[in-house]
Structure 1
């Protein structure tokens, strides 16, 4: 053990410094880049080696064609948020499930799935669902834990259900097809949505006072036929989803080209809804630039950190720690999933993806799970498992961003303790979905095999 520490003490100190720096509240992008430079000098790494960091950033990030998809998908999500599509769809779904126990909560879960397949922006989804549904749920007498939990969990589905920015970045990191990742993530994402709905139905039956039935006569202001209203409000999002995902899965467009289709489609949809203005467009462009810049800076910082970390032997340290456990392939996979789950309490998905994935993926790729899969198929399966796992990072305290978004919406009317308790059953449901995908890989790999 002493020999292990003496050999890898700088790599371990680098990880400890990263965790300590995060708790100071210092911007993670600058923290990652700064630690990379500092430990390059502490470790006596030759200055010319740092030039390779710049080359890696330019060649792996700036020149990466896939990165163009990120601002386009962000723009699409933000434009849809302001189009009014979600509000109309929620009201129609409430009419559909109006006499079902927990109907409004189920409507929120279904809307979360639809908007996840249309936007993929977590902050926008949680805020949008919270502003639309939380006041109505509270007014109808929903228990705060049930209302907050379903809003936070449904809003985070966009990180998994394609088009997902996380999957775009994972495809770049792991050098696998983003289209393959989109296909693989679709069924697991829908599975999580189905688990949410099943849980809501059960709780509404067991605890009817948590989800009282609404007075439809007082809440229903839409007099159009129900099926016509449902078709009307679902048509726009479904066309956009089909245009983006359908073009990728059919091999007609690359993810970047499909993102451009989605961005243009969101503008057309907003025009048809008569909800676009110069002010709306300006704010959307500014927020797109801000979000994209944040992601890009974290990617640049993480690249600097990982290059120096590997030079200090960090990749060999991780490999030795993982393989030295004596566990079998599934035991190692569960260990990695547990590590990522714990890191999700403290790190964002971007840092985990760019720091952890390059270190553990080579180990996973060579493991024999007895499934007869190619290395590419194993990496796609592993990426989906990580994506499901990282979805919990938005919900787990102390740094679960969905919780803070929701707390800001409540304006102090709902305590943070209530919000923390509300996400416990949904985190357990996500872990259940993760376990199903681990032990039944076909859940993730069936669609990529069907549509190669």
Structure 2
């Protein structure tokens, strides 16, 4: 039971706010040494000196970490994880080019004359930003600063406006190139390109579901998303379309270069990430925002974020190693296999509910590196398709960005929203979109063939 106690100890420490990487590392060291003492004391002969028992217990606990350097070295050699810093750098550079501002401005006026048009344009821009940057914080803040004031000015319902922005900003978690998918590719040991290709269908299904919801709400309650009058100063409709296309084409080109090279088999995700970095710098030059200072700032920010991810990964590696050595995996596997009903579906439903609930309190990185490795052996035993299971988890983790009280998108939007927008309005606004995500998650789970996947190996 040491592994189970260790798991809940780490979870409790995360919930009360201890740093993630240090929590995993400290908990694993403490319980690893404790397990060593427990084993020595359990099998010691009567009359053995206490000093000897303590010495042997300490040695046994420390010996558990002898292979830790080899695990860390294996992480450093992972070509899959090399893509993470490059995609982060690409996203930060694009954030600094003002890409989101130009897209939102053009598409907002393009769709403004449709009821709910600005909200729809926000979803479409969120999709483009997700496929070109994948940085949730940057997307939410950009749309919150630009799109939210416009919607509030034209009397859009505050809950609908804030919910649309938060949900659109999180699309970067499921639409490739997604950091979540890269991490899950490493954890599941499946090709990231397969995950990227499989995530496109569910991601676009979410986008369509968001747009349908906005159109239906706008039609039923016309005062929630009124029509925005045409702006004569922006020229004819034809000129507005041309202007929007000019703003869309650069980001669309980058998406084709990055994702197209992966799907066509021309490049691996790591190689396409490098292409994306070059493409982002070229776009910065086209938008006249390129400078050595900008590249330096983007590089430093990328290093900080990447260091955080890898720090968590090393702590999580130590945690999973001790959890496995102390028998935690066997207990979890036995519990999962004992679930009522069909073994496979009982396991899938239980894990999805567990991840959804954990997403209310802890970050997607912790879930990916701590919870998911515990579930993988059970999934393999049940013959579950790892790509399909990874997509389900990725979609579930996307929901964690929206769920109160700790959803990151909620904090990002609150930080940049006008003074009149309250936290409770943002919470209410995201609830319909959370329900939409759960519905689409259910479709992917029970009807994977619609998205070109199979639940079985």
TM-score, with structure 1 as normaliser: 0.92
* Residue of 30, 34, 43 corresponding to 1:38: 30
Asked if 2 retains the 8 angstrom alpha-carbon contact of 1:83 and 1:270, the reply is yes
Instruction: Output the CA distance in 1 between the equivalents of 2:451 and 2:71.
Output: 31
Q: Does 1:380 align with 2:424?
A: no
Whether the 8 Å contact between 1:188 and 1:443 is mirrored in structure 2 is no
Residue matched to 1:407: 414
Gaps of at least 5 residues in structure 2 are 37-59
Contact 2:71 2:317 in 1 (8 A): yes
1:418 and 2:433 correspond:
no
Q: Which one of the candidate residues 430, 447, 454 is aligned to 1:440?
A: 447
**What is the rounded CA distance, in whole Å, between the counterparts of 1:446 and 1:340 in structure 2?**
21
Q: Deviations over 1:371-405 (max 9, x none)?
A: xxxx6xx1000000000111011111121111111
What is the deviation of 1:327? Answer: 2.5
Task: Name the SS for the 1:309 alignment partner.
Answer: helix
Query: Aligned to 1:151, which of 165, 177, 182?
Result: 165
Aligned residue in 1 for 2:53: none
Among candidates 11, 32, 43, match of residue 19 of structure 1? 11
Matched, 1:291 2:298: no
1:182 aligns with 2:193: no
> Which string of whole-angstrom CA distances, capped at 9 and with x for unpartnered residues, describes residues 216-243 of structure 1?
2278479871332232111101110010
* Cα contact 1:322–1:332 (8 A) shared by 2: yes
Structure-1 separation of matches of 2:68 and 2:422? 45
- Superposed CA deviations along residues 17-62 of structure 1, whole A, max 9, x for unmatched, are 1122113211111111111111111111531221212221221x21
Q: Is the 8 A contact 2:234 2:240 kept in 1?
A: no
Partner of 1:135: 149
For structure 1, the residue ranges without an aligned partner over 5 or more in a row are 1-7, 369-374, 448-452
Q: Distance in 1 between matches of 2:209 and 2:335?
A: 35
- CA 443–81 in structure 1, closer or farther in 2 if over 3 Å, else same: farther
Residue 180 of structure 1 and its aligned partner are, at CA, apart by 0.3
Alignment of 1:340-351 (within 5 A): 340-351=355-366
Q: Is the 8 A contact 1:381 1:445 kept in 2?
A: no
**Cα separation, 2, equivalents of 1:66 and 1:175:** 9
Structure 1 residue aligned with 2:369: 354
Counterparts of 1:153 and 1:165 in 2: how far apart (Å)? 17
Q: Give the greater-gyration-radius structure (CA).
A: 2
2:360–2:403 CA contact under 8 A, matched in 1: yes
SS of 1:211 mapped into structure 2: coil
Task: Tell me what 2:81 maps to.
Answer: 67
- Equivalent residues of 1:381, 1:444 under 8 A apart: no
In the TM superposition, what is the alpha-carbon distance from 1:12 to its structure 2 partner?
Answer: 2.1
Does the 8 Å CA contact 2:193/2:262 hold for their aligned counterparts? yes
Task: Give the drift of 1:94.
Answer: 1.8
CA distance in 2, matches of 1:221, 1:132: 21
Indicate how the Cα distance of structure 1 residues 232 and 219 shifts in structure 2: closer, same or farther if over 3 A, else same: same
Partner Cα distance (1:307, 1:221) in 2: 63
Distance 2:301 2:147 in 1: 23
Which of structure 1's runs of 4+ aligned residues deviate more than 6 A? 221-224
CA deviations on 1:164-194 (whole Å, 9 max, x unpaired) are 1111111111110100000000110010011
Q: Which residue of 2 aligns with 1:245?
A: 259
TM-score, length of structure 2 as denominator length: 0.91
Query: In the alignment, which residue of structure 2 is the partner of 1:28?
Result: 20
Superposition CA RMSD, Å: 1.7
Specify which of 106, 109, 113 is matched with residue 127 of structure 2.
Answer: 113
CA contact (8 A) 1:109 1:151 kept: yes
Q: CA deviation at 1:411?
A: 5.6
Task: Report the CA distance between 1:446 and its aligned residue.
Answer: 5.1
CA–CA distance in structure 2, aligned partners of residues 154 and 122 of structure 1: 9
SS of match in other structure, 1:214: coil
Compared CA separation, residues 117 and 300, structure 1 to 2 (3 A) = same
**After the TM superposition, which of the residue ranges 169-178 and 220-229 deviates more from structure 2?**
220-229
| CA distance in 1: counterparts of 2:313 and 2:419, whole angstroms | 34
- Contact 2:64-2:322 at 8 Å conserved across structures: no
Q: Distance in 2 between matches of 1:222 and 1:168?
A: 44
Whether the 8 Å contact between 1:437 and 1:444 is mirrored in structure 2 is: yes
1:300 aligned residue (314, 317, 328) = 314
1:163 matched to 2:163: no
